[in-house]
Amino acid sequence: MSIIDDLKYIHRKDASDALGIAEKQWQQLEYEFNLPDQKYEVDNIVFTGMGGSALAALLSKTWPGYKVPFEVTRGYHLPAYVGKRTLVIASSFSGNTEETLSAFQDAKSAGAHIVCVSSGGKLAELAKENNTAWIELPPAAQPRFAVLSSFKALVTILEKAGLVNHDSAEKEIHRTALFLKKHLESYGPTVPTSKNLAKKLALDIIGLSPVIYGGPLMAPAAYKWKISFNENAKNVAWWNEFPEFNHNEFLGWTSHPIDKPYAVIDLRSSFEHERIQKRFDLTAKLLSGRRPAPHTIQAEGDTLLEQLLYTMALGDFVTLYMALLNGINPTPVELIEKFKVELSR
């Protein structure tokens, strides 16, 4: 029996019940944010945030899409074009992310419309001081465990503002929550490895450095897998997306050594462009024997949103099981916290 089928071992190592949080993450999509309708006359939207906070915005570029130009910035400053006809959404789970607080000041100086998203912290204080809209996120053990609530908050903001390219986003989110509930149960710790895709994949790639690929629609999920390998499993990982991959990184796999210490994971969606599908197939053919054979994850679901969130959530389970195989508690990110303390001095 694998150690990830040993419930006593799991409970001892996963002291914060990260697996339980992953299994219940569908509930975040059902969270109701109290936000009045607010129409903005804007030419563009800029979302500023870091890490898991930025991930919600990247997901939204795949679904539901936008009626005006939308840009995600991850840094201290906003683009020079931000002005009075820009909606700036400043997001930080803790509310204390220094890059986001700096970007807020840029937005204020530019006279932009601003909406803040956080669980509290200095960002909430700035919102109140400046009479700016603020959405309060529900508590979570770590920001990366709150991606779906951040995503729901963002879609709520944009749907009420009439800025998303979708007629009934909130209804589709509810349907997707029920879809996720059903599927995530099959990856829980009580489901044995023989019937558990997440456990099987974790066992297949333990000891290797994962490289995750997605097409344009699944790229945010590929990025989330990378984040989760880093923060959950404390394992280095990389990601990239098609078709850009075929214009450069593709050749990087052709040199020695042939026996490379990586695990390649392809995230495939039936909604990707037919040329993207062909690129995945042709890449696997031409790189056969030059890199490890890819583990192909075919997204489940009848809608783009279902496939996107299913694929992302599966990665959460894979990386949590990899953490347990690595013999570590997946929840703490002690070195990041130490880095923040050192940086503040």
Please, which residues bridge with residue 44 across strands?
86
Q: pLDDT tens, 121-156?
A: 999 999 999 999 999 999 998 989 999 999 999 999
Both tokens assigned to 118? 């956080």
- Choose, from 108, 122, 260, 340, the residue flagged as catalytic: 340
Q: Identify whether the C-beta of residue 144 lies closer than 8 Å to the C-beta of residue 116.
A: no
Instruction: Look up residue 35 and give its amino acid.
Output: L
d(CA 129, CA 296): 49
- Choose, from 172, 231, 241, 272, the residue flagged as catalytic: 231
pLDDT of 167 strictly over 70:
no
CA triplet 240, 241, 247: central angle to 5 degrees? 95
Only one residue has tokens 């006593």, namely 8
Both tokens assigned to 140? 């979570």
Both tokens assigned to 227? 């984040």
Average pLDDT, the chain: 95
Q: pLDDT tens, 60-110?
A: 999 998 889 999 999 999 999 999 999 999 999 999 999 999 999 999 999
Is this structure's pTM higher than 0.85? yes
Under the banding of pLDDT at 50, 70 and 90, the label for residue 165 is low
247 tagged catalytic: yes
- Choose, from 247, 256, 285, 342, the residue flagged as catalytic: 247
Would you say the C-alpha torsion 9, 231, 277, 286 has a positive or negative sign? Answer: negative
pLDDT at 336: 87
Taking each helix axis from N to C end, the angle separating 219-231 and 51-62, rounded to the nearest 10 degrees, works out to 160
224 exposed, middle or buried (CB, 10 Å; 0-12, 13-18, 19+)?
buried
74 exposed, middle or buried (CB, 10 Å; 0-12, 13-18, 19+)?
middle
DSSP codes, 216-234 = TTTHHHHHHHHHHHHHTS-
Please, which residues bridge with residue 14 across strands?
none
314 exposed, middle or buried (CB, 10 Å; 0-12, 13-18, 19+)?
buried
**Which phi-psi region, left, alpha or beta, contains residue 97 (left: φ > 0; alpha: ψ -120 to 50)?**
beta
Only one residue has tokens 């906070």, namely 53
- Delineate the domains of the chain, giving CATH numbers in brackets: 3-15+189-325 (3.40.50.10490), 22-177 (3.40.50.10490)
Structure letter (DSSP) for residue 329: -
> Cα torsion for 165, 28, 189, 53, to the nearest 10°?
70
Only one residue has tokens 């916290």, namely 337
116-147 per-residue burial string, b: 16 or more CB within 10 A, e: under 16: bbbbbbbbbbbbeeeebebbbbeebebbbbbb
Q: pLDDT tens, 187-244?
A: 999 999 999 999 999 999 999 999 999 999 999 999 999 999 999 999 999 999 999 9
How many residues in the chain? 345
